A = this chain, B = another copy of it.
């Protein structure tokens, strides 16, 4: 039996278009002689649909399209397994539906609902009350949704849930495991998936078909990378990463040795680059934009974001604003110009001296600069205004260029450099910004990002001779401490036990906590690590701190 797997990039909420795409893939799979087509989790709505699910009309429309558009194709066509919401007696489930011969043959509701990190599934769904094996051809099959396969007590030291759906299903005679997922990317995730699926194939002596969503949806980037294993845990197929795919397997192959040894997926700067490019491109296009504007400071952050934007959208769709203030160094302007030229993107030079002076006339009695923090922010905000003005007038989406390290410690200006519709590298620690920039130059075989931009000491250039290290610990020290505090939720003393100095750790923790109000108003940032700011980290603002 030929099975087709469709790894699609859906737009959240675009029910009609998503349906059309699903139909198209069913027809293509049918043309290739498939008896079954498998789609990912919540393919109809795109994942995550969030509070759209609170609209009854949305859930009803989803079902209507399924019944009127998709179901008929299975009459005389291939069977379909598809992820969709399912309402029953007023209760909503996240379900995989098995469609065959024009009917909904069976329903496989998700048992384990992730409600940690960026996930809110308990907000919308109830867990499956029962689980049952379904015959697919002559194969008794466990049809599961995403999280359902992740609670194996032999694999995980710690279980998040009381039940393991696979235990029931394989005790019930399952011989094939199908899992439809919407599993977002973070650095290291694919390794975890491949380890788990190999393990499950061997443990249950089962073929494994894993179909994941692909595409960027707001902060989340879904990498696809769907997988097929035979019952010996040999990897038979790894679908495209960061792109759509429609691929096929003969069910017989799932139960014979392939003699294959496939090296595990590699994850490195190249993967991060592809993830960010996809996340950026999808955010722009799915919000209805085609071109972006950003400030180019001559520094490495904006250089990297510009490079990613050119990669994602083409140089003709990227506009850089070079906006020197009285404190900008000559080399910064030169570096920014050089970058724009290297990338072949449009650039405009707009000196902010005049509005800056006009503000100082209003704000300082003598009209002379005082060189305080407020005036540093003022310069950043004048630039923010210019970026937003060109965004508003000319229809560019504005990109914010801040990295995770500065967002963490609040070394950034709200409504200034934080302004924009998308914060492209908001989840990249500064050291990773360097790594990725060097990687890009290496891959391109030339210094797209100017050498001086990479080599010079980081500076906001908002007062004479300013350097980041005047205010912050050096990044090679800052980044690992931030990682322990933010991604691993360690306390100050636990971090000190890893060999860091108490005063430094305390200072950093305090900066992180005090900057919560800025992050609350930050643009959505593409997620790359195991814990990004935004919906993955929900902190109170009006709070007290005890160090």
Contact = CB atoms under 8 A, between A and B. Distances in A.
Chain A interface bracket (under 10, 10 to 19, 20 to 34, 35 or more) = 35 or more
Contact of A355 (B58, B123, B362, B374): B362
Contacts of A535: 538
Nearest to A540: B12
A539 B123 CA distance: 13
B489 A539 contact: no
Interface in A333-380: 350-352, 354-355, 357-359, 361-363, 372-374, 377-378
Copies of this chain held together in the complex: 2
Contacts of A390: 363
B359 A385 contact: yes
Interface string A73-117: 000000000000000001000000000000000000000000110
A14 B546 contact: yes
Given A491-B55, A524-B520, A542 B357 contact: no
Interface stretch (A26-34, A244-252, A279-287, A453-461): A279-287
Contacts of A521: 521-523
B489 A55 contact: yes
A158 B49 CA distance: 24
Interface in A504-547: 517, 520-524, 535, 537-546
Contacts of A384: 381, 415
Contacts of A361: 354
A386 interface: yes
A494 interface: yes
A361 B352 CA distance: 11
A544 to B, nearest CB: 3
A120 B517 CA distance: 20
A450 interface: no
A359 B523 CA distance: 24
A414 interface: yes
A429 to B, nearest CB: 19
A392 B414 CA distance: 11
A540 B49 contact: yes
A396 B522 CA distance: 21
A147 B390 CA distance: 49
Contacts of A377: 388-389, 392
A115 B13 CA distance: 23
A59 B460 CA distance: 38
Interface in A452-481: none
Given A350-B362, A362-B386, A491 B14 contact: no
B419 A415 contact: yes
Nearest to A384: B415
A419 B52 CA distance: 27
A181 interface: no
B543 A14 contact: yes
A133 interface: no
A51 B532 CA distance: 13
A493 interface: yes
Nearest to A215: B542
B524 A489 contact: no
Interface in A257-291: 282-283, 286-287
Contacts of A392: 373-374, 377
Nearest to A364: B393
A69 interface: no
Nearest to A537: B51
Nearest to A352: B362
A68 interface: no
A397 to B, nearest CB: 9
Contacts of A217: 540, 542
Contacts of A90: 158
Contact of A286 (B17, B389, B542): B542
Contacts of A355: 355, 358-359, 362
Contact of A542 (B287, B372, B389, B543): B287
Nearest to A49: B540
B286 A544 contact: yes
A189 interface: no
A329 interface: no
Contact of A414 (B12, B51, B123, B388): B388
A421 interface: yes
20 contacts: A11-B542, A11-B544, A13-B540, A14-B543, A48-B540, A51-B537, A52-B540, A58-B491, A122-B122, A123-B538, A286-B543, A287-B517, A350-B362, A354-B362, A362-B386, A377-B389, A377-B392, A381-B381, A382-B385, A524-B541
Q: Identify the 4 closest CB pairs spanning chains A and B, nearest first.
A: A57-B491, A14-B544, A374-B393, A286-B542
Given A116-B123, A521-B521, 7 more contacts: A55-B491, A286-B542, A354-B361, A363-B389, A381-B415, A388-B415, A415-B419
